[in-house]
Amino acid sequence: MELDDLRRQWQQPDPAALPPVSPAHLEGLLLRNSGSLVEKMRRNTWSEALLTLLIVVGIPFYTWNTWGQALHTTMAGVMLLLSAILLVNYYRQLVLLRRMAQAEAQVRTHLGTLCAGLRQLLHFYYRLTMASGPLTLLLLLGFLVGKELARPGDFRWPLIAGLTAAFVGLGAVVQVGVGRLTRWYLQRLYGQHLDRLEASLRELDDAE
């Protein structure tokens, strides 16, 4: 059987197989959540953004209870700054994901948008994960130094130097592990999908 033979039959479906479309039936279809990768990423980003907003809302309560203690106020300030940076990034991600979710472009254009957007998001996730380790250690070290400064008596240089060395050593080991784990995780979660989309895009580009 040739493709042309199939074409002759193709557009003659069995009408009984098609359920009628009614507004109620359609509402039922539209009620479900989209299963697309982009929609899942959008939902995750919204959740993360809301969580960050909760932290931002919680910070004034924290500073209220520890008002006047320079160390805690500084920590709250740093947290607020980090949250603000994260929120800006979440906003940019949502704008990008919204653009990626618009499926009415030409297939080649849409695939290009998806590939570029997904790659951009994966870089962002990777960079964010890689930055969070050193940042956490830096905050912890800052906190310990602050406590040491606030303590009456001499500043214990050997202790702080030892802690710093331990943090740097531990941080380096953890960073390598986290880097490998993040790459593996992102590849498992999104990488294969990206590879497939890029292969599809290449196929269309080959035609050019």
Partner 1 sequence: MAVATPSADFVAVLHEYQPLLRRVARLYCQDADDRQDLFQEMVLQLWRAWPRYVPQPGAKLSTWLYRIALNVAISNLRQRTRRPAPVGLDAEALAVAQAPETGYDADDRAQLYRAIGRLSDVDKAFILLYLEDRPYEEMADILGITQNNVRVKMHRVQEKLRALLVPAA
Residues that bind partner 1 (CB under 8 A): 1, 3, 5-14, 17-18, 20-23, 26-27, 29-38, 101-111, 114, 193, 196-197, 199-200, 203-204, 207-208
How far apart CA 122 and CA 185 sit, in angstroms, is 11
Question: 46 vs 74, 86, 130, CA distance in Å?
Answer: 28, 12, 21
Distance in Å, CB of 125 to partner 1, minimum: 17
Nearer to partner 1, 11 or 65 (CB): 11
Nearer to partner 1, 21 or 157 (CB): 21
Residue 15 DSSP symbol: G
Distance in Å, CB of 10 to partner 1, minimum: 4
How far apart CA 47 and CA 50 sit, in angstroms, is 5
Distance in Å, CB of 16 to partner 1, minimum: 11
Instruction: Kindly state the helix (H) or strand (E) to which residue 114 belongs, with its residue range.
Output: helix 107-150
Distance in Å, CB of 92 to partner 1, minimum: 21
Nearer to partner 1, 47 or 136 (CB): 47
Distance in Å, CB of 206 to partner 1, minimum: 8
How far apart CA 118 and CA 115 sit, in angstroms, is 5
Nearer to partner 1, 8 or 154 (CB): 8
Nearer to partner 1, 34 or 132 (CB): 34
Which three-class secondary structure state does DSSP give residue 2?
Answer: coil
Residue 39, CA atoms < 13 Å, CB-side half-sphere: 7
Nearer to partner 1, 107 or 168 (CB): 107
How far apart CA 187 and CA 198 sit, in angstroms, is 14
DSSP letters for 45-98: HHHHHHHHHHHHHHHHHHHHHTTT-HHHHHHHHHHHHHHHHHHHHHHHHHHHHH
Distance in Å, CB of 31 to partner 1, minimum: 6
